[in-house]
């Protein structure tokens, strides 16, 4: 299925988000990536409700993703009974170290499965920021997920160059010479190559109408196997979001192969 995906992160102002969702729905986006921590889910919901009422889009044609924030991983907190407004998203101990949850993510997953059984959600998944730039994704991870019937969604598919913790020697995707060669070859922008027709689901972030439209123009070309193999050589074996502040957690998973 050809489906455009829009990511709406908390850096975007609510008024910008409102207009971005309006533009995206009209352009043809049908997958909206949200999260409680972004602080704009109400605005997103208001726009979607209006567009459904205006008969611009039907609800069954929309996929809307949210996230179970880390402070709600305990099984008894997973099914919401009220609107969560006052939330400390990043709790700290007295010594200013992160206050880590003792909830076992296996128990969290089981409780989320119950939400599917109750019809409260259609599907569930895992957000682990396994390797944030999907074209740098380890081939072993990709092959493993394909074998298990698991779809990968690319978080920060353009490398999130404005992330606060970036280091000078981190790879800069939008300045990559090899990727630029492919963009020139297919008469695409450099950003459209990693957002193109991959087996990975790509969610692009923008509040600018022209870029939202540009990000959707990726279904009219296809990379042959040799170019995909060429891109596989880009694998930097790194993570854009290593979450080092919680490395002391017994459930920190980034020490494993993938």
> Catalytic residue numbers?
38
Torsion 201-207-213-215 (CA) sign: negative
Backbone φ and ψ of 64, nearest 5°: -125, 120
Residue 18 has which token pair? 């409102």
Where are the extended beta strands (E) located within 97-216? 153-154, 201-202, 204-205
Query: Residue 114 and residue 78: Cα distance in Å, rounded?
Result: 10
**212 CB-near residues (< 8 Å, 6+ apart):** 6, 20, 23, 24, 27, 29, 204, 206
Instruction: Please give the DSSP secondary-structure letter assigned to residue 19.
Output: H
**Exposure letters 217-238 (e unless 16+ CB within 10 A, then b):** ebeeeebeeeeeeebeebeeee
């Amino acid at each position: 299925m050809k489906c455009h995906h829009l990511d709406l992160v908390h850096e975007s102002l609510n008024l910008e988000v409102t207009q971005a969702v309006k533009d995206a729905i009209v352009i043809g986006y049908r997958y909206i990536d949200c999260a409680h921590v972004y602080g704009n889910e109400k605005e997103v919901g208001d726009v979607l409700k209006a567009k459904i009422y205006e008969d611009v889009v039907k609800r069954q044609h929309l996929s809307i993703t949210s996230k179970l924030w880390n402070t709600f991983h305990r099984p008894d907190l997973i099914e919401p009974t009220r609107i969560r407004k006052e939330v400390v998203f990043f709790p700290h101990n007295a010594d200013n170290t992160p206050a880590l949850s003792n909830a076992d993510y296996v128990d969290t997953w089981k409780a989320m499965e119950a939400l599917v059984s109750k019809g409260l959600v259609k599907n569930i998944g895992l957000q682990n920021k396994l390797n944030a730039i999907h074209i740098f994704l380890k081939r072993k991870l990709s092959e493993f997920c394909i074998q298990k019937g698991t779809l990968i969604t690319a978080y920060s598919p353009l490398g999130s160059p404005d992330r606060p913790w970036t280091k000078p020697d981190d790879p800069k995707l939008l300045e990559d010479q090899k990727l630029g060669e492919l963009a020139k070859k297919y008469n695409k922008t450099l950003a459209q190559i990693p957002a193109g027709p991959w087996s990975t689901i790509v969610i692009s972030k923008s509040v600018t109408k022209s870029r939202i439209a540009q990000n959707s123009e990726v279904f009219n070309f296809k990379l042959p196997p040799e170019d995909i193999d060429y891109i596989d050589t880009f694998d930097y074996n790194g993570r854009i979001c290593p979450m080092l502040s919680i490395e002391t957690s017994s459930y920190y998973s980034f020490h494993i192969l993938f």
